[in-house]
Amino acid sequence: MQQGAESKEQGVRRGSRWAVPTTSNLKFQVNRGLHRFAVLTAGATFVLIFMGGLVTSTGSGLAVPDWPLSFGQVFPPMVGGVLYEHGHRMMAALVGLLTTILAVWIYLRDPRGWVRGLGVAALMAIILQGLLGGLTVLLLLPTPVSVAHACLAQGFFCLTVALAVFTGPGWRERYGSVGKQENRGPRAVSPTPPRSRPPLLSLTQWGALTTAVIYIQLILGAVMRHMGAGLAIPDFPLAYGRLVPPLESEAIFVHFLHRLGALLVTLCVVWTFLRVARHHRQGPVLLRPASLLVVLLVIQVTLGAFTIWTLKAVLPTTAHVAVGAALLATSLVLTLRAHRLPASPKFATNLGFVSSKEVPA
């Protein structure tokens, strides 16, 4: 066991297939079981978001009037809306359990204090999320509480996805074999002569901005959904047959903002993709999430259109919530990967940018 670890480490030093050589990333060993468990927790959270969307889409939010029990029982008869509402509670309990195990596992096994802190933050977030869910039911679905519940759901999902990234081998190995590097700010090593005019934002900063814009769009979606403004503008792609609808009510205003938000998200995603396709097309590390972003965006806009054309049929409306979460998570993964790309001369050696003689031992 010990010998295996040593030979792996020697492999790292020689720059073999194990990892890009660096002293800092030797500080933690990837625990594959822990990583897989983090991926499982993120996957279960995605299913939970879909099930939460089903509760609202089917109008089952108050199908079970009490909390934390359901009709005073742990497992009531699953009839009508109870199936969705209680099913959502069951899935939430499972995610709560998974998160608790994940946080404890990380705390015991991961030496990085900031990752342990994130594990604890995820645990706090799922507890708060459960309380908000219960409060929503007990207070008869007040809009601010329902919106907070929807937004924290997406934030919690981001935490689980980030934990899956941080515990993975890619993070440890700094996504070793990537293609041509983009200008990434002061730490960057460029394989080509420096540009005359570096981009205003590094890819990491741009990715973070795109992720934030998508998150704001999700908040707008949640506000619109919970204030019942989903059909406040009944036609699409036009709005009341015009480009700009008469902004006569709050509902129309929020709905129109969501459509403008979709435009902004589209611009950010397309720009991210073009940038990655131009500077990182050799390796899949960034190209894969960037391409996935574009595919998800097309699906998301189509689902948004069908939500309106079908007068909020359950399936397209619920899928619209879930794909929104997938867009957010994909953008986050791309951002984290861009941040973690090799940036010091040591990494550049591995990528063939700098002669190994130039690298201090």
Q: Cα–Cα distance between 31 and 54 in angstroms, integer?
A: 35
Identified binder of ligand HEM from the candidate list 236, 291, 314, 359, rule CB under 6 A = 236
Q: What are phi and psi of 239, to 5 degrees?
A: -125, 110
Q: Cα–Cα distance between 191 and 347 in angstroms, integer?
A: 12
Using rule CB under 6 A, residue 293 touches ligand HEM: no
Q: What is the DSSP string of 318-358?
A: HHHHHHHHHHHHHHHHHHHHHHHS--SHHHHHHTTSS-GGG
Q: What is the DSSP string of 44-69?
A: HHHHHHHHHHHHHHTT-TTSS-SSSS
Q: What is the DSSP string of 16-48?
A: -TT----SGGGSS---HHHHHHHHHHHHHHHHH
Stretch that binds ligand HEM, among 13-21, 135-143, 200-208, 313-321 (CB under 6 A): 313-321
Q: Cα–Cα distance between 158 and 273 in angstroms, integer?
A: 21
Using rule CB under 6 A, residue 330 touches ligand HEM: no
Which CB atom, from 149 or from 340, has the smaller least distance to ligand HEM? 149
Q: Cα–Cα distance between 177 and 179 in angstroms, integer?
A: 7
Stretch that binds ligand HEM, among 1-9, 77-85, 276-284, 299-307 (CB under 6 A): 299-307
Using rule CB under 6 A, residue 20 touches ligand HEM: no
Identified binder of ligand HEM from the candidate list 121, 305, 314, 354, rule CB under 6 A = 305
102 membership: H or E segment, kind and range: helix 82-109
Beta partners for 73?
Answer: 70
Q: Structure tokens of 8?
A: 């792996």
Using rule CB under 6 A, residue 133 touches ligand HEM: no
Which CB atom, from 30 or from 305, has the smaller least distance to ligand HEM? 305
Using rule CB under 6 A, residue 306 touches ligand HEM: no
Identified binder of ligand HEM from the candidate list 20, 189, 321, 326, rule CB under 6 A = 321
Taking CB under 6 A as the criterion, which residues in 213-232 touch ligand HEM? Answer: 214, 217-218, 221-222, 224-225, 230
Using rule CB under 6 A, residue 327 touches ligand HEM: yes
Using rule CB under 6 A, residue 308 touches ligand HEM: yes
CB of 308 to ligand HEM, least distance (A): 5
Q: Which residues form the interface with ligand HEM (CB under 6 A)? A: 56, 150, 214, 217-218, 221-222, 224-225, 230, 236, 258-259, 262, 265, 297, 300-301, 304-305, 307-308, 312, 317, 320-321, 324, 327
